[in-house]
C-alpha cells in the first residue's frame, strides 16, 4: 500500500520493521521482508515523482555555505531514490576487496566475498542479470574474430565486462511501484521525512521514529526494528541529529559516525586515439547492455601499492579533453544512437578510482537547519594524496599495456588534482567493523550500541573498491532481509 503522508497528521503507524528511504537499499529490503511475511513500514521523504521542494532537503554545507554545486546530480530524493538516474552498471566486489591491504590504512571488511556469494546470486536474479562476475569473453560476445582487449602477457590490468540492469528494471521505483502498492504487508508512506529517531532512556533501543512533511504535519512510526537506508550522507546525518538522549548522536560513542566518507574519482581518463581496432563496437556493447574495459590486477595493486581502478570504453559521444565530463544531470539522458556514431576515430575512456578510507573525510552536522528543522549536514571530502599518485601510476600502466596490445595510443587527461565534484557513488559514513572504535555497525549491519537499529546502503562499506557500488548495496539489503526475517521468526 502507498499512502501520501501529506494527507495524514498526528497518526502513529506500526509494523515489525520500519525502514527510512525508498531507494536501492530500502526498496530492496522492504520488498524482500514483505515477501518473507514480515510487516514493514517504508518511509520516503519524496513523492512518487521528482519535486524541487523535496530535492532541496538534500542541501549540504561545504565550507560554511550551501554546497549544491559540489554534489549536484549525485543524489535523488523521491520514490526509487538515486536509481531514478543511475546508470544501472553492475559488478560484484571481488574477494580481494574484502581483504585488508597493508598499504591502505583502515582497509578490510568484517565479512568475506564467500559470505555474500548466495546474496549476490539472489541480487543478480532479482535484477535480471545473467551472472555476477564476468571476465572478457569474446565467445559470449560473439566477436571471436576480433583481437582481445588486452594481451594475455599483460599483468597490470585484466579486461572485464560490466553488466547493465535491463532497461525495465533500472529505475527501481518505476519497476516496483505496483508491487509496493499491491503489497498487503508493506505500507509505504511517501512525502514524509524522518527527522529524528527516539530511543528509550538507555539510548540503546529505538522506540519510534518521527516523520515530518513540508506542510508542517508530523507522523510517528513504531516498530521492533528500524533500518536507515537514506544514502551515505543522510544516514550519518540522521544518526548525528538523533541526540536527544545520547549526546553526540546514536552509535557515535567513539566519534566514528560520518567519518571515512568515500566516493569514486569517476572521471575522464583520456582518449584511445587512432581508429583503434577494438574487439567490440560501440553498437555491439550497447546492444548487449554491457561495458567493456580494464581493471587493475591484484598483482599490480600489491606490487605498486595501488588503489583499485577500472577504466572502460565509453559508449557515449567523446568529450573534449579540457572539459569536465558532464556526469549526472537531474534526468538521465537517453543514449542516442547518433551520439555513439559521431566519432569513429577515437573512444573516450572513463575511470572509477577507489577512494581510500580516511577518518578526516567526513560528514558532520552544521548549525544551519532545513525547512523541517533538521540540522543540515556538512561535508569535508578529503581524497588522500596517495590516491592521486595511485591514479596517475595506474593510468600510465594502462596506457603502456594498451599500446603493447596494439589497441592504439591512450592520450591521458590531466590527472594532477582530485575532481572538484563528489560523484554519485557515496560510501563509508557508518562503516562495518567488528571493532566499535573502528566502525559504526557490526557485520550484520546493526549499529553496535543500539540493539534494534540497522543500516542499509553504501555507508556500510569499509572500502570503496573500483566496482560500481549498487549491486553490492542491493546484495547487502537482501542479506539484511534474510537476517531480519530470521530475527522476527525468533531464530536470530
Chain positions contacting ligand FAD, by CB under 6 A: 20-26, 43-46, 73-75, 77-78, 81-83, 85-89, 193-194, 229-231, 234, 327-328, 424-425, 457-458, 468-471, 473
Q: How far is the CB of 139 from ligand FAD (least distance, A)?
A: 25
Q: How far is the CB of 275 from ligand FAD (least distance, A)?
A: 28
Other CB atoms within 10 A of residue 442 CB: 16
Q: How far is the CB of 344 from ligand FAD (least distance, A)?
A: 25
Residue nearest to ligand FAD (CB): 23
Q: How far is the CB of 136 from ligand FAD (least distance, A)?
A: 19
CA distance 421 to 219: 36
Specify the residue, 384 or 469, whose C-beta has the smaller distance to ligand FAD.
469
Q: How far is the CB of 320 from ligand FAD (least distance, A)?
A: 20
Q: How far is the CB of 83 from ligand FAD (least distance, A)?
A: 5
The answer to whether 293 and 407 are in contact (CB under 8 A) is no
Q: How far is the CB of 372 from ligand FAD (least distance, A)?
A: 8
The answer to whether 396 and 413 are in contact (CB under 8 A) is no
Other CB atoms within 10 A of residue 302 CB: 13
Contacts of 42 (CB under 8 A, 6+ apart): 19, 22, 26, 27, 30, 180, 186, 187, 188, 189
Specify the residue, 25 or 365, whose C-beta has the smaller distance to ligand FAD.
25
Q: How far is the CB of 406 from ligand FAD (least distance, A)?
A: 30
Q: How far is the CB of 165 from ligand FAD (least distance, A)?
A: 8
Specify the residue, 111 or 325, whose C-beta has the smaller distance to ligand FAD.
325
Can you give the three-state secondary structure of the chain, one letter per residue?
CEEEHHHCCCCEEEEEEEEECCCHHHHHHHHHHHHCCCCEEEECCCCCCCCHHHHHHHCCEECCEECHHHHCCCCCCCCCHHHHCCCCEECCCCHHHHCCCCCCCCCCCCCCHHHHHHHHHHHHHHHCCCCCCCECCHHHHCCCCCCCCCCCCCCCEEEEEEEECCHHHCCHHHHHHHHHHHCCCEEEEECCEEEEEEECCCCCCEEEEEEECCCCCEEEEEEEEEEECCCHHHHHHHHHHCCCCCCCCCCCCCCCCCCCCEECCCEEEEEEECCCCCCCCHHHHHHCCEEEEEEECHHHHHHHCCCCEEEEECCCCCCCCCCCCCCCCCCCCCCCHHHHCCCCCCEEEEEEECCCCCCCCEEEEEEEECCCCCEEEEEECCCCHHHHHHHHHHHHHHHHHHHHCCCCEEEECCCCCCCCCCCCCEECCCCECCCCCCCCECCCCEECCCCCEEECCHHHCCCCCCCCCHHHHHHHHHHHHHHHHHHHCCCC
Specify the residue, 38 or 238, whose C-beta has the smaller distance to ligand FAD.
238
Q: How far is the CB of 264 from ligand FAD (least distance, A)?
A: 9
Specify the residue, 21 or 251, whose C-beta has the smaller distance to ligand FAD.
21
CA neighbor of 393 nearest in space, from 324, 319, 308: 308
Specify the residue, 73 or 436, whose C-beta has the smaller distance to ligand FAD.
73
Specify the residue, 193 or 390, whose C-beta has the smaller distance to ligand FAD.
193
Q: How far is the CB of 472 from ligand FAD (least distance, A)?
A: 8
Specify the residue, 73 or 316, whose C-beta has the smaller distance to ligand FAD.
73
Specify the residue, 23 or 439, whose C-beta has the smaller distance to ligand FAD.
23
Specify the residue, 39 or 230, whose C-beta has the smaller distance to ligand FAD.
230
Q: How far is the CB of 361 from ligand FAD (least distance, A)?
A: 17
Specify the residue, 25 or 383, whose C-beta has the smaller distance to ligand FAD.
25
Q: How far is the CB of 59 from ligand FAD (least distance, A)?
A: 12
Quote the radius of gyration of the chain (alpha carbons, Å): 22
The answer to whether 429 and 262 are in contact (CB under 8 A) is no
Specify the residue, 100 or 331, whose C-beta has the smaller distance to ligand FAD.
331
Specify the residue, 408 or 465, whose C-beta has the smaller distance to ligand FAD.
465
Amino acid at each position: 500500500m502507498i499512502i501520501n503522508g501529506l494527507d495524514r497528521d498526528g497518526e502513529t503507524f506500526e509494523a515489525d520493521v520500519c525502514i527510512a528511504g525508498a531507494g536501492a537499499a530500502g526498496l530492496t529490503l522492504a520488498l524482500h521482508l514483505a515477501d518473507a511475511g514480515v510487516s514493514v513500514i517504508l518511509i520516503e521523504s519524496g513523492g512518487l515523482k521528482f519535486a524541487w521542494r523535496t530535492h532541496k532537503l538534500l542541501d549540504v554545507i561545504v565550507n560554511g555555505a550551501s554546497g549544491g554545486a559540489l554534489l549536484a546530480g549525485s543524489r535523488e530524493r523521491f520514490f526509487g531514490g538515486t536509481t531514478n538516474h543511475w546508470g544501472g552498471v553492475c559488478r560484484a566486489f571481488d574477494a580481494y576487496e574484502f581483504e585488508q591491504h597493508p598499504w591502505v590504512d583502515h582497509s578490510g571488511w568484517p565479512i568475506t566475498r564467500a559470505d555474500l556469494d548466495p546474496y549476490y546470486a539472489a541480487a543478480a536474479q532479482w535484477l535480471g542479470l545473467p551472472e555476477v562476475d564476468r571476465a572478457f569473453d569474446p565467445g559470449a560476445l560473439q566477436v571471436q574474430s576480433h583481437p582481445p582487449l588486452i594481451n594475455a602477457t599483460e599483468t597490470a590490468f585484466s579486461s572485464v565486462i560490466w553488466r547493465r540492469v535491463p532497461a525495465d528494471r533500472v529505475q527501481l521505483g518505476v519497476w516496483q511501484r505496483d508491487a509496493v502498492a499491491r503489497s498487503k504487508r508493506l505500507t509505504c508512506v511517501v512525502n514524509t521525512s524522518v527527522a529524528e529517531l527516539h530511543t528509550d532512556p538507555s539510548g540503546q533501543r529505538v522506540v519510534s521514529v518521527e516523520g515530518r512533511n513540508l506542510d508542517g504535519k508530523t507522523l510517528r512510526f513504531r516498530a521492533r526494528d528500524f533500518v536507515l537506508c537514506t544514502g551515505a550522507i543522510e544516514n550519518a546525518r540522521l544518526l548525528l541529529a538523533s541526540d536527544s538522549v545520547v549526546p553526540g548522536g546514536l552509535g557515535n560513542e567513539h566519534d566514528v559516525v560520518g567519518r571515512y566518507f568515500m566516493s569514486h574519482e569517476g572521471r575522464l581518463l583520456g582518449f584511445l586515439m587512432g581508429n583503434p581496432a577494438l574487439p567490440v563496437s560501440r553498437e555491439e556493447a550497447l546492444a548487449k547492455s554491457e561495458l567493456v574495459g580494464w581493471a587493475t590486477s591484484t598483482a599490480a595493486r600489491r606490487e605498486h601499492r595501488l588503489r583499485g581502478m577500472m577504466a572502460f570504453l565509453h559508449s557515449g559521444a567523446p568529450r573534449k579533453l579540457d572539459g569536465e565530463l558532464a556526469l549526472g544531470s537531474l534526468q538521465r539522458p537517453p543514449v542516442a544512437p547518433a551520439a555513439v556514431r559521431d566519432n569513429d576515430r577515437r573512444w573516450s575512456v572513463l575511470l572509477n578510482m577507489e577512494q581510500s578510507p580516511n577518518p578526516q573525510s567526513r560528514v558532520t552536522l552544521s548549525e544551519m537547519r532545513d525547512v523541517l528543522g533538521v540540522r543540515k549536514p556538512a561535508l569535508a571530502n578529503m581524497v588522500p594524496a596517495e590516491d592521486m599518485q595511485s591514479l596517475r601510476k595506474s593510468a600510465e600502466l594502462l596506457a603502456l599495456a594498451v599500446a603493447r596490445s596494439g589497441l592504439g595510443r591512450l592520450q591521458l587527461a590531466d590527472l594532477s588534482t582530485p575532481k572538484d565534484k563528489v560523484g554519485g557513488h557515496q560510501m563509508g559514513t557508518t562503516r562495518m567493523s567488528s571493532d566499535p572504535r573502528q566502525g559504526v555497525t557490526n557485520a550484520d549491519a546493526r549499529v553496535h550500541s543500539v540493539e534494534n537499529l540497522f543500516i542499509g546502503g553504501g555507508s556500510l562499506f569499509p572500502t570503496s573498491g573500483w566496482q560500481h557500488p549498487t549491486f553490492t548495496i542491493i546484495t547487502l539489503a537482501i542479506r539484511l532481509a534474510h537476517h531480519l526475517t530470521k530475527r522476527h521468526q525468533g531464530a536470530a
